A and B are shown apart, each in its own frame.
Chain A
Amino acid sequence: MIAGQVQKGGKYVTSKAVADAKEAGATDIEIHDTVLIAAAFCMFNRYVDGLGTTQPRDEAMYRERGKRIARDGYAAISKEYLSPAGTR
């Protein structure tokens, strides 16, 4: 709910949605990270589509990639195609 509000815009996040989340057990850090994940994907999505990147429609490729990301995370996977300067 909160993430969907952030996707529309930061000011759409309501005190009620936050109160409901806290009532259901969400901590401050969890709410913080939800807002930031949603905000960050508003960046990543615009970057990917804004440059008109090639986006294959091969489901199997995404599933394989998903397994590697789940296991190794995002910084590790980028080492496969970045020069040492691109990774720190």
Chain B
Amino acid sequence: MPHISLPEGLPGISSGFAFRPETAKPMRELAHVLLHEPNTLSPAERELIATYVSSQNDCYFCQTSHGAAAAAHLGENADTVDQVKHNFLQADISGKLKALLVIAGQVQRGGKYVSPKSVEEARKLGATDLEIHDTVLIAAAFCMYNRYVDGLATWQPHDPAIYDKMGTHLAAHGYLTPSVKP
């Protein structure tokens, strides 16, 4: 049961967005810029960072919806999403992305856990300043989104079909418009 009277029938974050459109707008815009707009990191890579952080924060709705978006971007490699959640160092992803996920994991614990060594490792594997900046900010932002979704105790369905549909929409259109219609 949500802690406040959120509109019914809208899963996860979309119920919060419908309740409070004024804050929904900048939250959608931030997600859109970070995860969907052009970047030297592919949308799949950025969605995998978001999925990883959300799984570390144990937010079911967020890790499943962003995992679905990552899978949609990757095409067939849905296994990769599970690998990243459970053991990213062995996952079928680039060395650079592994190094960025180390940084993301540190940010998830707290900003001060980000070590110069992890940053140096990421640079050695080709990460640019912009990519490191965006990794830190994606991880930080998901520490916000995860807390918002779970903090309000939003309704989080467990039907995979709902998330597959969301993932397809998010991969195609990004975050500016709802991926679920009431």
Contact = CB atoms under 8 A, between A and B. Distances in A.
Interface of A: 2, 5-6, 9-11, 13, 15, 18, 28-29, 31-33, 35-36, 38-40, 42-52
B182 interface: no
B166 interface: no
B4 A48 contact: no
B3 interface: yes
B150 A46 contact: no
A47 B111 contact: yes
B136 A39 contact: no
B58 interface: yes
B150 A48 contact: no
Interface of B: 1, 3-5, 16, 19-20, 23, 57-59, 103, 106-107, 110-112, 114, 116, 133, 136-137, 139-141, 143-153
Contacts of A46: 107, 110-111, 136, 139-140, 143
A49 B106 CA distance: 11
Contacts of B57: 9-10
B4 A43 contact: no
17 contacts: A5-B151, A9-B57, A9-B150, A10-B152, A11-B58, A13-B3, A18-B3, A32-B16, A33-B23, A35-B3, A39-B146, A42-B147, A49-B114, A50-B136, A50-B140, A51-B114, A51-B133
B157 to A, nearest CB: 17
A10 B136 contact: no
B132 to A, nearest CB: 8
A51 B106 CA distance: 11
B141 A49 contact: no
A43 B153 contact: no
Given A9-B58, A10-B59, A32-B16, A39 B147 contact: yes
Contacts of B5: 28
Contacts of A33: 20, 23
